[in-house]
Amino acid sequence: MEATMTNATASTAEQKIQDRTVPESTVGEVHVENPRMTARAVDVYYGEKQAISNVNLDIGLGQVIAFIGPSGCGKSTFLRCLNRMNDTIDVCRVEGEIKIDQDDIYDPRIDVVQLRARVGMVFQKPNPFPKSIYENIAYGPRIHGLVKSKVELDEIVESSLTRAGLWNEVKDRLDQTGTGLSGGQQQRLCIARAIAVSPEVILMDEPCSALDSIVTAKVEELIHELREQYTIVIVTHSMQQAARVSDRTAYFHLGKLVEVGETKQIFTSPTHELTQDYITGRFG
Amino acid sequence: MTDSTQMAQTGILDKLTPSTVAGLVGKSLTKRNRGETVFQAVGIGAISLAVVLVLILFGSVFSKGLPAFWQMHINLDVTFSEDRIKVAAAPVREDFANDAEYQDARNKWVNSLNFVNYNALLLDALSKHIPEANDDRRAALALVTSGERFALRDLIANDPSVIGQTLPLTLLADANVDVWLKGNIDRSLPDEQQQLSAQTREWADRLYAEGIIENNFSTALFMNSDSRSSLASAGLAGAFMGSLFMMLIVIVLAVPIGVCAAIYLEEFAPTNRLTSLIEVNINNLAAVPSIVFGLLGASVFILAFGLPMSAPVVGGLVLTLMTLPTVIIATRSTLKAIPPSIREGAMALGASKVQAITGHVLPLAVPGILTASILGVAQALGETAPLLLIGMNAFVTSVPTSPLDQATALPVQIYLWQGNELRNFFEGRTSAAIVVLLAMLITLNSIAIWLRKKFETRW
Ligand SMILES: Nc1ncnc2c1ncn2[C@@H]1O[C@H](COP(=O)(O)OP(=O)(O)OP(=O)(O)O)[C@@H](O)[C@H]1O
Ligand SMILES: [Mg+2]
């Protein structure tokens, strides 16, 4: 027996959605003319449990693509396939084919270190290293041997921080620890850290969920500027954010990619009922 | 949803109006506050009890031990007269063709010094203050501890030019004289229960009153090794060096092996039957009584590997085995406490697993690892039982110069001394040894605290 009317309403809405079948194939155009990364028939399992099934998706060169969908639908899981961060989870198994510029990233001959230098990642919670701001940025270029001299390294640090819109705030205290910055500054530091190794793709998993609205606006502005040089994949729970920053939007549901298309189209005239329900805020 | 008209059913929640809730919370609050007060009181009580017990322990050890660092000394003008020291002139290097011949001659000469009657030298010196000393030579000679005869010999051997001179020397008084003058024995006991003859006691009192015998800080405790013939000069040097060698072995072996094992188990090892079996065994090993490790050391290192008995190398290996689980477990829990986001951050930048660990995880873990290691070493330093089983309770009169020499250890020396028959003298000596051991442990712990502060990363 339901205790309140509100619960009862929610329950029926859920029921309605349960009744709607998740489509076997994705609605909308999964292909783009000029893909940087392509995923074909990707299945992901955590042990016995399947978290992603049969996802086909192109990630366009120089585009921002947003992944949206209810909690637990597999957005992070799929995102983490793109730079093989799932390798760090023992029970995780990825099937299918993911390519970056025609190279299969799960090919045994591909070194995961090289892949991650090409596909950078920014996490939900800012995780700067407990070292100086300078060291935070310099670490990546140094381990990959991108620079030959201290001068070049200084240059990388400065331009990465500048691109991340943080240079003016921290230029006088590069030797202070990165963890001493505010949350928003820390997240931009993490973005600068990712930029410093000149990746082709930057993956962002809910980069603004720990930030307030003003700082979020700053980070969104930054994403806007970064789209010129990088391909960006962003997972977000905020529909407005997806609408503001992305060119294309992919809607995930229960491990399936339900619908994908131009952001404008997804938000104004979604094709699939599940997408409609989610966009209009009926659940999620 | 708080509007009750919308409720499909009335339940307990509806009966809880704000005023009843306030009343109920108030009531439960009194109970909770009381619980909190009781908990605090119990905590403070426990801490006070612990502090009092520690103070009592330290108080008794220090009150007995510290006076033992001061010993009775006799100031004598010793004349190294040629009449008494009838030996040939000391050989000189220039007279010999090569070093070997010179060494040979010198050894012979030093050997001849053993036949000098040093008691006569001491009696001569004592007679200057006790004219009647020659009437009861035994009583007079009992004032000076027997080991000082060898000290006189060594003095001549090191510098033959003292022959014919008179030197003011400060000699250690006999252990019983020390006990008598410090009042560590009941002075009213009848003669047959006293360790010293009535004559010696009388002379000791007289010299003490005249200032010839003085209570001075003694280095004997630190410079000498154990002795049974000259109890007053029994020292800790041998045991100290034995403990030092063992500590070095433990640091060199247990720390790197333990840390590497912990890193592998925590960061690299796959989770399967074998690793969980290893894990369980390491945890069990930490709980094995230390004396079992001693048995293992005796049967494996001494019987099977043929390493020498009573040697710090065997003791060090045994203590290493004993310390390993401690270091491994503590290091692993340190590594576990490092947030995984740091590892992920590094790996997402393309760092390999080893790079992420050496570059980011280990620097954060260093303070914890150091603390764990030093506490493990401190634990090993205080261990006695396993050392008894590998013969480190042997009576060793020389200071070991290598881990293969025979030696004892500080805690074993404490054990040996507290069993000595001359209780009155060795009670203080034992406490003094405990003070030295405690000082070493406190030093180690302070180093641990200092290192932790130094390497701590501020977040
Ligand atoms: N390490 C893991 N081990 C086992 N199952 C996992 C693991 N990580 C995620 N899952 C499961 O995989 C499914 C997808 O999780 P994922 O984190 O990708 O969801 P998400 O869409 O990112 O959700 P959210 O929006 O809440 O972050 C979930 O059912 C989750 O329980
Ligand atoms: Mg997620």
Question: How many whole angstroms separate alpha carbon A191 and alpha carbon A164?
Answer: 6
Q: Is the predicted pLDDT of residue A4 greater than 60, yes or no?
A: no
Residue A145, phi then psi, degrees to nearest 5: 65, 40
For ligand 1, whether the C-beta of A30 sits within 6 Å is: no
Each residue's pLDDT tens digit, B306-348? 888 888 999 999 999 999 999 999 999 999 999 999 999 999 9
pLDDT score recorded for residue B393: 84
Min CA distance, B356 vs chain A (Å)?
Answer: 10
Min CA distance, A143 vs chain B (Å)?
Answer: 7
Q: If you average pLDDT over residues B56-64, what whole number do you get?
A: 92
Each residue's pLDDT tens digit, B144-161? 998 899 899 999 999 999
Q: If you average pLDDT over residues B285-291, what whole number do you get?
A: 90
Q: Could you tell me the pTM of the whole model?
A: 0.79
C-beta separation of A242 from A268 below 8 A: no
Residue A153, phi then psi, degrees to nearest 5: -65, -45
- DSSP bridge pairs for B238: none
Of B147, B63, B58, give the one whose Cα is nearest residue B442: B58
pLDDT score recorded for residue A2: 38
Q: Give me the percent of chain B exceeding a pLDDT of 70.
A: 97
pLDDT score recorded for residue A3: 40
Considering only CA atoms, which residue is closest to atom 24 of ligand 1?
A71
**Interface predicted TM-score (ipTM) over 0.90:** no
pLDDT score recorded for residue A38: 94
Confidence of residue B454 (pLDDT cuts 50, 70, 90): confident
What is the three-state SS of B45-75?
A: HHHHHHHHHHHHHHHHHHHHHHHHHEEEEEE
Question: How many whole angstroms separate alpha carbon A111 and alpha carbon A23?
Answer: 35
What token pair was written down for A184? 């928003």
Residue B441, phi then psi, degrees to nearest 5: -65, -40
C-beta separation of A100 from A35 below 8 A: no
Question: How many whole angstroms separate alpha carbon B85 and alpha carbon B32?
Answer: 88
Eight-state DSSP code of residue B303: I
Question: How many whole angstroms separate alpha carbon B348 and alpha carbon A207?
Answer: 15
3-class secondary-structure state, position A158: helix
Min CA distance, B21 vs chain A (Å)?
Answer: 20
Which amino acid is located at B258 in the chain? G
Each residue's pLDDT tens digit, B199-254? 999 999 999 999 999 999 988 888 888 888 888 888 899 999 999 999 999 999 99
DSSP string over B335-364? HHTS-HHHHHHHHHTT--HHHHIIIIIHHH
Full strand arrangement of the beta sheet holding A35-46 = A49-60, A35-46, A92-100, A103-104
Q: Which atom of ligand 1 is nearest to the CA of A91?
A: 3
Q: Is the predicted pLDDT of residue B7 greater than 60, yes or no?
A: no
CB contact under 8 A, B349 and A197: yes
For ligand 1, whether the C-beta of A168 sits within 6 Å is: no
Q: Is the predicted pLDDT of residue B9 greater than 70, yes or no?
A: no
What token pair was written down for B431? 């406490």
How would you classify the pairing of strands A92-100 and A35-46? Answer: antiparallel
- How many residues are listed for chain A in this entry? 284
Chain B partners of A183 at a C-beta cutoff of 8 Å? none
Confidence of residue A6 (pLDDT cuts 50, 70, 90): very low
For A83, B146, B223, B431, the CA distances from A117, given in Å and listed in that order, are 9, 78, 63, 64
pLDDT score recorded for residue A12: 54
CB contact under 8 A, A6 and B351: no
CB contact under 8 A, A190 and B345: yes
Of A135, A129, A125, give the one whose Cα is nearest residue A204: A125
Q: Is the predicted pLDDT of residue A18 greater than 60, yes or no?
A: no
Instruction: Look up tokens 């230390």; give the residue.
Output: B290
A205 Cα–ligand 2 center, Å = 7
Each residue's pLDDT tens digit, A164-175? 888 999 999 999
Contact B272/A at CB under 8 A: no
Question: How many whole angstroms separate alpha carbon A215 and alpha carbon B218?
Answer: 71
Neighbours of B423 (CB within 10 A): 13
Min CA distance, B321 vs chain A (Å)?
Answer: 32
Question: How many whole angstroms separate alpha carbon A188 and alpha carbon B99?
Answer: 77
Q: What does the mean pLDDT of chain A come to?
A: 87
Q: Any idea of the CA torsion for A52, A57, A62, A64, to the nearest 10 degrees? A: -50
Q: If you average pLDDT over residues A213-240, what whole number do you get?
A: 89
C-beta separation of A27 from A12 below 8 A: no
A77 Cα–ligand 1 center, Å = 6
Chain A partners of B364 at a C-beta cutoff of 8 Å? 130
pLDDT score recorded for residue B16: 82
Of A258, A257, A256, A254, give the one whose Cα is nearest residue A71: A254
DSSP string over B185-247? S-TTS-GGGSSS-HHHHHHHHHHHHHTSEEEEE-SHHHH----SSSGGG--SHHHHHHHHHHH
Q: Is the predicted pLDDT of residue A196 greater than 90, yes or no?
A: yes
- DSSP bridge pairs for B213: B74
Residue A181, phi then psi, degrees to nearest 5: -80, 165
- DSSP bridge pairs for B78: B167
CB contact under 8 A, B342 and A113: no
Least confident of A22-26, A77-81, A173-177: A22-26
DSSP string over A10-49? HHHHHHHHHHSPPPSS-BS----SSEEEEEEEEEEEETTE
Question: How many whole angstroms separate alpha carbon B254 and alpha carbon B327?
Answer: 7
Contact B1/A at CB under 8 A: yes
pLDDT score recorded for residue A7: 46
Of A3, A5, A7, A8, give the one whose Cα is nearest residue B12: A3
Residue B195, phi then psi, degrees to nearest 5: -75, -25
The percent of chain B in helix, strand and coil, each rounded to the nearest 5, is: 70, 5, 25
The more confident residue out of B15 and B181 is: B181
Task: For residue A261, give the H/E element and its range.
Answer: strand A256-262
CB contact under 8 A, B350 and A143: yes
Q: Is the predicted pLDDT of residue B275 greater than 80, yes or no?
A: yes
CB contact under 8 A, B345 and A177: no
Q: Is the predicted pLDDT of residue B1 greater than 90, yes or no?
A: no
Each residue's pLDDT tens digit, B390-446? 888 888 888 888 888 888 999 999 999 988 888 888 988 999 999 999 999 999 889
Q: Is the predicted pLDDT of residue B457 greater than 90, yes or no?
A: no
Confidence of residue B448 (pLDDT cuts 50, 70, 90): confident
Phi-psi region of A83 (alpha: psi -120 to 50; beta: other; left: phi over 0): alpha
What token pair was written down for B278? 């290893």
End-to-end CA distance of chain A: 24
C-beta separation of A106 from A84 below 8 A: yes
Each residue's pLDDT tens digit, B117-132? 999 999 999 999 999 9
A123 Cα–ligand 2 center, Å = 10
CB contact under 8 A, B350 and A117: yes
For ligand 1, whether the C-beta of A123 sits within 6 Å is: no
Question: How many whole angstroms separate alpha carbon A120 and alpha carbon A192?
Answer: 11
Alpha-carbon dihedral sign for residues B338, B342, B346, B347: positive
pLDDT score recorded for residue B331: 93
Q: Please, where are the H alpha helices in chain A?
A: 5-19, 75-81, 112-118, 133-143, 150-163, 167-170, 183-195, 213-226, 239-245, 263-268, 273-279
C-beta separation of B195 from B179 below 8 A: yes
Question: How many whole angstroms separate alpha carbon B104 and alpha carbon B88?
Answer: 15
What token pair was written down for A260? 């994908």
Q: Is the predicted pLDDT of residue B110 greater than 60, yes or no?
A: yes
Confidence of residue B5 (pLDDT cuts 50, 70, 90): very low
List the single residue in A with minimal CA-CA distance to B352: A113
- DSSP bridge pairs for A60: A35
Task: For residue B23, give the H/E element and its range.
Answer: helix B18-65
What token pair was written down for B341? 């986001």
Confidence of residue B80 (pLDDT cuts 50, 70, 90): very high
Q: Is the predicted pLDDT of residue A10 greater than 50, yes or no?
A: no
pLDDT score recorded for residue A22: 65
C-beta separation of A250 from A57 below 8 A: yes
Chain B partners of A121 at a C-beta cutoff of 8 Å? 348
What token pair was written down for B208? 């003490």
Q: Which ligand is nearest to the CA of A80?
A: 1
Q: If you average pLDDT over residues B296-308, what whole number do you get?
A: 90
| Residue B224 CA to its chain's centroid (Å) | 15
Domains of chain A: 2-126+200-279 (3.40.50.300)
Q: Please, where are the H alpha helices in B232-337?
A: 237-263, 273-286, 290-297, 312-336
Question: How many whole angstroms separate alpha carbon A66 and alpha carbon A263?
Answer: 8
Sequence-distant (6+) residues with CB within 8 A of A103 are A110
Eight-state DSSP code of residue B144: B
